[in-house]
Structure 1
């Protein structure tokens, strides 16, 4: 009698061969998918006579995207010619007065030294304005000063004393010197 020895494969061996077959099949499927995607991209690029395309590279886990480029806007060869109307020039005037009379000019300062009062009179960190209303007579001299806003501490009086020395070319109306009023503003800062 003859005995036949059949050797059984261990169960681990069967699993290993099934895993190998599954790996080969999976690799073949992935290779086929990449090949299909590659042919799809090549076909899109091979059509230059049609619409151009921008291809974004394939990234694992994402599908390749083909986007149409944005059209370039070209300006027209000949821009439209529109008639341009020039605005009318303003009427020529030699001045004006709210009362309707012409040839009015304002007083301009001829001699006007800057008031430089002692900033030490002000507390540290103080800043502010001194506003003075003045009346200028027909000869161009300051005849009246009125404090409109001040800083105090003897500071305002020092500014007004300097303004009293100022001289002006007087304002004129119809070519004749006249008295006028002006407002002066001085800004001071003590650090």
Structure 2
């Protein structure tokens, strides 16, 4: 009884399955798959302008120029000489060469710069009542180099005689050779005079003397 019931149930189930799926015994129809085709669209490039092509070619053909500007005058280095700010040093005197005793230091000034400065009541020799009279008037020393070279010359010296008869100031008015100037002034500064007089009293006097350097007299 139970066996018949089970068989009947199985048959009933099979019939229902066939009713529901009539293609169960056949192959299933093929599935349709949608395909997406990509349409390739070729874009046309616009033609290049001939002028632009020429410009590109010209730029390629032109050589590269130096873009650095030339230096201005301010940029150029200034060559500065080495001795521009250097004062030359005078060499020391040779060994054994010392200043002689009794030598007179003569200040080096422009002619007439300080001549007669500080001297009161200075008279010209032509305006005196009585002119000075020389007491000691030794000749100058002849420069050795000039004597050896056989050179003669002369120096005109202006000097001031004070009221005591001493020479207190000298200057060179003119000379034929500079080498004769110092010996001439040194000689005049050692001269002694009887002072000139004006109004009965001794006064300072301005005088001048031409000193000659002659090789014949020096022998």
- TM-score, length of structure 2 as denominator length: 0.37
Structure with the higher strand share, 1 or 2: 1
TM-score normalized by the length of structure 1: 0.42
Larger radius of gyration between Structure 1 and Structure 2: 2
